Amino acid sequence: MTTSKGTIGILTGGGDVPGLNPAIRAVTIRAMREGYRVIGIRRGWAGLVDLVPEKGADNSACVVDLTEEVVNRAGRTGGTFLHSSRTRPSHLPDTMMPEHLRGTYTDEVNDITAQILKNIEFLGLDYLIPIGGDDTLSYGHRLYKEGVKVIAIPKTMDNDVPGTDYCIGFGTCVTRTIELAHTLRTSAGSHERFLVIEAFGRYAGFTALLPTMAGAADRCIIPEHPFDPEHLTEILSYDRNRHPSKYAVVLVSEGATMAHHDGMSFEGEEADQYGHKKLGGIGDKVATNLKNLSPKYNNGKRINVVSQRLGYLVRCGDPDALDSIVPMAFGNLALDLILSRSNGRLVSLRKGTYDNVPLDVVVGTKKVVDVAKYYNTERFRPFYHSFGQRPTFIMTSDV
């Protein structure tokens, strides 16, 4: 039953991160106390794709009414209990077309935004709150331009949504990366090896650069600057020789590339609906190069390598303190905007202050590391200067 103030829909899209459930909880509890009904849309945009807009249709796999009891139970946990997907309604393959739409959309790839708008109207949504990265939010921006009242919440471990210094999931990712890097040191030190750790980061190197600054690694390789494997071997050999236990550590972003080589490293050729192939393998390539080139910098003797991909270890499990607190604030910021009758906004955290910016920012710019300001390309490490008046996580977009 719709309450006097209206209905709010909330969804989570893209990869899971710790902090999504606390954000859902914050939105729901505040909204209900302000007199709104809250609907959870399952599996990101897929819930709105698969919904059948007919009275009496069983849409339990697409939407769920949210209550304080439901969100309180999930709010302390990781992942997203609404589930997620990388579905993109503006580029929906015919293989994913719901049965009830097959006669309407017949192309190999279809833009079914008109149907999404009908489904939003059928659900009676007065506001829509997508939580996601720039892919998920770019479609939220499309709906905003079509007249839907959208308030967006930034989420991604890579921390690369423009307009905000912090995205849900980043704190836990950095915390886990530091912890796991220190744990893996014992094996590298025991065998006097190089340690190569592949971290997340498709286009932006924040998840490798910040842990390195915090002491998790001697060097780091980021997507924003192609690297020379031989120069990296020389630098790491220098680090290893200076270390009492004869080992050295490098963090490598999954989107990093080698100079004079072809592009990123992928697990396969299949791409998702946003055009992204699944990244993976650059860590092993770096390890192979280090092993083969090491005799030149180690008196003719090869240095063996421990290579480890962190993968889901940094995105699973419960949120850390930041990813419990920030989502709570972001959810309440979203409700502040709704109560002020604002829309087309992205909630944000900039230079230690909660705020909001126009949603247009998610399609107008890219947030990547400012290499000249934060990354020493000759030494493969962060610059340790100009900390004054910088935000908590230092290396953020100035957009």
Say which of 50, 134, 158, 165 is annotated catalytic.
158
Q: Is 158 a catalytic residue?
A: yes
Question: For the chain, what is the HEC assignment?
Answer: CCCCCCEEEEEECCCCCCCHHHHHHHHHHHHHHCCCEEEEECCCHHHHHHCCCCCCCCCCCCEEECCHHHHHHHCCCCCCCCCCCCCCHHHEEHHHCCHHHCCCCCCCEECCHHHHHHHHHHHCCCEEEEEECHHHHHHHHHHHHCCCCEEEEEECCCCCCCCCCCCECHHHHHHHHHHHHHHHHHHHHHHCCEEEEEECCCCCCHHHHHHHHCCCCCEEECCCCCECHHHHHHHHHHHHHHCCCCCEEEEEECCCCECCCCCCCEEEEEECCCCCEEECCHHHHHHHHHHHHHHHHCCCCCCCEEEEECHHHHCCCCCCCHHHHHHHHHHHHHHHHHHCCCCCEEEEEECCEEEEEECCHHHHCCCCCCHHHHEECCCCEECCCCCCCCCCCCCCCCC
Catalytic residues: 158
